[in-house]
Structure 1
Amino acid sequence: MTMSVRTAAEARPLGRVFRLPGVYRPQEDTALLSGVLAADTSIGCGKRCADLGTGSGALAIALARTGATVVAADISMRALASAWMNTVLRALPIGLIRGGLPETVEAGPYDVVAANPPYVPSPVPAVRSSRAWDAGPDGRAMLDPLCAAAPSLLTRTGALYLVQSTMSDVDKTRFALAAGGLRSEVVARAEVPFGPVVSGRLDYLIDRGFVRPGERTEELVVLRAAR
């Protein structure tokens, strides 16, 4: 698929965001995915979209700016409050869903689903303060359920856009999506320096083979999946 794109002027940066304590701060992965959403002219008025695990609402904002109808889902009330405030400040209406994957599936299907799920391999189970990034020993605690549920999230012509690190096995994501009848492709890439989370568990990641000794950057990719 060749993605049609808007002009650079239409792909506006997010700018400053309101964020309650404990809510995930938009970072390079958020910016990469929001740029893809903003540039894709197939998203717009008449489309029903969902931002799964919305956090501060950054992806909901990117979707709403296209003119689409958007719902933002998160298990955290602080995240939903932050997302609501950020869209109100920009005069962009969104709906809110309190919940995770099951609740988002139940409220669907959608023409577009955007997701920036946790994907950092972790030596310990995620807790409330780390559940936005810790994703189990292989980094796939949320990616695998998302891939399995993707066909149920989407309309017949719908598309899933998700961002992840290559540390958490992009090929496995693509195989899992294919098992559900979805074709996927990488539509954006970015090489970014390790952030504080990855840097703080570098020994674990090297021991487990996720990072090579001396490596100080990771590759982020955005996948688009559709029937």
Structure 2
Amino acid sequence: MSAPVRADPQPRPPGGLFRLPGVYRPQHDTALLASVLAEDPRIGPGLRCADLGTGSGALAIGLARTGAAVVATDVSSRALASAWANAVVRALRIGLVRGGLTAAAAAGPYDVVAVNPPYVPSPAPAVRSTRAWDAGPDGRELIDPLCAAAPALLNRNGVLYLVQSTMSDVDKSRHALAAAGLRSKVVARAEVPFGPVVSGRLRYLTERGFVRPGDRTEELVVLRAAR
């Protein structure tokens, strides 16, 4: 019998993190993924981990606290500076890599990869101020390339942890990971209130069928994928 999926009623976003202007503020998705990582007993000294799209470094800091060697990647220099500052004040060491999937893969492979990618469907292309959440018309502009690139990021026994909203189609993520040669399963779920981004484009999301009329919450899901 497979292990039950953990349901978190409402994960609390981590606080106390320094952020330069424009850097993504950790929210419920970050908290849910962080809680899953914290419960993986294998993560610790001797492992090499990566936090892709680190933002303020919340996930990288959690991984570094286990004693694992951690690389934090982001396309934003402000995000990397924020992550570095947050690690320094906590007396933690993280490596920094600026860039996207190609740069992350070049610095790998890794035993554990954690990623909270942009996944909110958007009526307009992402710009610098919205690229932390806007993810194209179906919410999969970055998820699909990530799933395809996942094997190149992982070592033989590596594990990918990915958090996303059900709005951006979890089944598609599982199929894409399978096409890349990885088996995946949902390991955690949480129902959370719409944040300001989703609330601000609720009409668009409702008209396109991403949410139902009257909905005021979305389901977040963490996928675990491995060979």
Report if TM-score (shorter chain) is over 0.5: yes
1:2-45 alpha-carbon deviations (Å, 9 max, x no partner):
59xxxxxxxxx844000000000000000000111111111111
Q: Deviations over 1:29-78 (max 9, x none)?
A: 00000111111111111100000000000010111111100000001010
In structure 1, how many angstroms separate the alpha carbons of the residues matched to 2:176 and 2:135?
Answer: 17
Q: Is the 8 A contact 2:163 2:222 kept in 1?
A: yes
Aligned residues: 218
Q: How far apart in 2 are the matches of 1:130 and 1:109?
A: 29
Aligned twin of 1:10: none
Cross-structure match for 1:18: 18
What SS is found at the alignment partner of 1:66? coil
Greater RCO between the two (CA within 8 Å, min separation 6)? 2
Aligned to 1:111: 111
| One-letter amino acid of the structure 1 residue matched with residue 52 of structure 2 | L
SS at match of 2:218: strand
Structure 2 partner of 1:7: none
> Partners in 2 of 1:40 and 1:14 — Cα distance?
18
Q: Which residue identity is paired with 2:169? A: D
Aligned position for 1:160:
160
Distance (whole Å) between structure 1 residues aligned to residue 210 and residue 147 of structure 2? 21
CA RMSD of aligned residues (A): 1.2
Structure 1 residues 151-173: Cα deviation after superposition (integer angstroms, max 9, x where no partner): 00000000000100000000000
Residue identity matched to 2:165: S
Letter in 2 for 1:190: A
TM-score, normalised relative to structure 1: 0.94
Structure 2 length as normaliser, TM-score? 0.94
Q: Please list every run of 5 or more consecutive structure 2 residues that lacks an aligned counterpart in the other structure.
A: 5-12
Determine the structure 2 residue equivalent to 1:81.
81
Question: How much identity, in percent, do the aligned residues show?
Answer: 78
> What is the rounded CA distance, in whole Å, between the counterparts of 1:62 and 1:212 in structure 2?
35
Paired AA for residue 182 in structure 1? L
CA deviations on 1:104-156 (whole Å, 9 max, x unpaired) are 01111000000000000000000000000000000000000000000000000
In the other structure, the counterpart of 2:178 is 178
The answer to whether the 8 Å contact 2:14/2:26 transfers is: no
Aligned to 2:71, what secondary structure does the other structure show?
strand
